[in-house]
Amino acid sequence: MKKRIGIVTGGGDCPGLNAVIRAVAKAAAQREWECVGILGGYEGLLEPTHSLPLDYHALSGLLTRGGTILGTANRGKFASKTGHGDSRQLPTELCEGVQAGMERLGISALVSIGGDGSLTIAQQMHEFGIPVVGVPKTIDNDLEGTLFTFGFDSAVACATDALDRLHTTAESHNRVMVLEVMGRYAGWIALFAGIAGGADVILLPEIPFTYDSICAKIREREDRGKHFTIIVVAEGAREKDGGFVTSGGQEANREARLGGIAAVVASQVEKRTGKETRACVLGHLQRGGSPTPFDRALCSSFGAHAVELVAEGKFGRMVGWLGTQISDVNISEAVGRLKTVPPDGSLPSTARALGISLGD
Ligand code: F6P
């Protein structure tokens, strides 16, 4: 019988999911294996199963298409994250349900494409005895075990484009513009986009800020004849001794929904400097649309390597970009701890060397 791989996408979507699905299915086809997509995350493996055959024709156009043709879920029976870095153990019945679903669909191995939450579930399934390999996805780039997750570069491109646009309107009106970007508890998007987009101030979750420091930068620019300032703030950034700014109510057993820090910063800056200030929240635009060329190449390499892992029977491993090449690590080494920006690392140092304020 032909080997059949099941592909499942979990957690929040991001650009490149379809490109990974395509790469896995193409690499599997080279070995004359079949692939089947699981619809709606792991729940698609529970009775009644929901799946999509991924034959050659189903793959057309997937390299560039945003979102995921399989659907995804960051809530429901398989949600693992319960708060800042906390996760829960899956009940045994769910693992048994997945195993039964795989048998019913004739699947001998799973490729799980996801971030910290979905890969935490993948690790638990591996410990249960389900053959699974992981592919690291998230715009936040906060997974250990890989230099870059796919989707991150596309989010940075979106945020950088927004900064380019905000520059022209800020300059025309002599305003301070505050752009809020995603990233949860990690400041990678804010830092990369801030440097790439020529921001004057970049506020990160890893470096608590003070308003005195932000306003000093704005005044320094005024003194030099620059009457506008661009601030990038990560959604997880916070004032020294302050808490995270959240939007909406906290749902039970779910991660806090961050958001709203740009409006807080804008109102404080306006009050303290007297300069007209506007806030802009980029939100889910960062998760939509076509992946960048870098992400397309990364997704293709990740997908091909995932199939190699299946071929070698290396289950419980996650593909990653380590050093100069695509490689793999134990999923357990990648999840349960966030890869955050090292405050003294080379990128924060680059920002400081260029005179960008990090708000501290
Ligand atoms: O983890 C990806 C991410 O986009 C975060 O950057 C953001 O905080 C969160 O997901 C938003 O989640 P949701 O789409 O559920 O609001």
Which residue minimizes the CA distance to atom 10 of ligand 1? 12
Residue 149 contacts residue 143 (beta carbons within 8 Å): yes
Handedness of CA 73, 125, 146, 334 (dihedral sign): positive
Is 334 in a helix, a strand, or coil?
A: helix
Question: Minimal CA–CA distance to 117: which of 91, 82, 155, 70?
Answer: 82
Pocket test for ligand 1, best of 137, 142, 184, 339 (most atoms within 8 A of CB): 184
Q: Quick one: CATH architecture of 4-151+291-334?
A: 3-Layer(aba) Sandwich (3.40)
The encoded tokens of residue 266 equal 């804008």
Residue pLDDT, tens place only, 202-215: 999 999 999 999 99
Cβ(328)–Cβ(305) below 8 Å: yes
For residue 33, what is the enclosing H or E element? none
Q: List Cα–Cα distances, 175 to 166, 168, 225, in angstroms.
A: 10, 10, 13
Do 156-288+342-353 and 4-151+291-334 fall under one CATH topology?
A: yes
- State how far the Cα of 81 lies from the Cα of 87, in Å rounded to an integer: 4
**Local confidence pLDDT in tens for the 360 residues of the chain:** 689 999 999 989 999 999 999 999 999 999 999 999 999 999 999 999 999 999 988 999 999 999 999 998 877 888 876 666 667 888 999 999 999 999 999 999 999 999 999 999 999 999 999 999 999 999 999 999 999 999 999 999 999 999 999 999 999 999 999 999 999 999 999 999 999 999 999 999 999 999 999 999 999 999 999 999 999 999 999 999 999 999 976 666 677 899 999 999 999 999 999 999 999 999 999 999 999 999 999 999 999 999 999 999 999 999 999 988 999 999 999 999 999 999 999 999 999 999 999 999
- Beta carbon of 258 within 6 Å of any ligand 1 atom: yes
Calculate how far, in angstroms, residue 206's C-alpha sits from the geometric centre of ligand 1. 18
Atom of ligand 1 nearest to the CA of 259: 8
Q: Which residues pair with 327 in a beta bridge?
A: 320
Domain boundaries, the chain: 4-151+291-334, 156-288+342-353
| Residues facing residue 9 across a β-bridge | 113
Q: For the residues of 61-97, what is the DSSP string, one character each?
A: TTTT--S-TT---SSSTT--B-SSS-B-PPPHHHHHH
Q: How far is the CA of 182 from the centre of ligand 1 (A)?
A: 7
Measured distance CA(356)–CA(305) in Å, rounded: 39
Q: Return left, alpha or beta for 330; rule: phi > 0 is left, psi -120 to 50 is alpha, else beta.
A: beta
Question: DSSP letters along 276-324, please?
Answer: -EEEEE-GGGGGSSPPPHHHHHHHHHHHHHHHHHHHHT-TTEEEEEETT
- Asked if 326 contacts 302 with a C-beta cutoff of 8 angstroms, the reply is yes
Q: Which residue has the tokens 């715009």?
A: 139
Side chain identity at 173, as an amino acid letter?
Answer: H
The DSSP bridge pattern shows strands 34-38 and 51-53 to be: antiparallel
Q: Which CATH number fits domain 156-288+342-353: 3.30.420.40, 3.20.20.70, 3.40.718.10, 3.40.50.460?
A: 3.40.50.460
Determine whether 140 is an active site residue: yes
The count of C-alpha atoms lying within 13 angstroms of the C-alpha of 27, restricted to the half-sphere facing its C-beta, is 22
Q: Ligand 1, residue 287: give the atom nearest the CA.
A: 4
Q: Which of 13, 86, 116, 140 is catalytic?
A: 140
pLDDT in tens, 303-333: 999 999 999 999 999 999 998 899 999 999 9
Per-residue pLDDT tens over the stretch 39-52: 999 999 999 999 99
* pLDDT at 87 (0 to 100): 76
Given a contact cutoff of 8 angstroms between Cβ atoms, the answer to whether 155 and 287 are in contact is yes
Query: What pLDDT, on the 0 to 100 scale, is given for residue 79?
Result: 81
> Phi, psi (5° rounding) for residue 98?
-65, -45
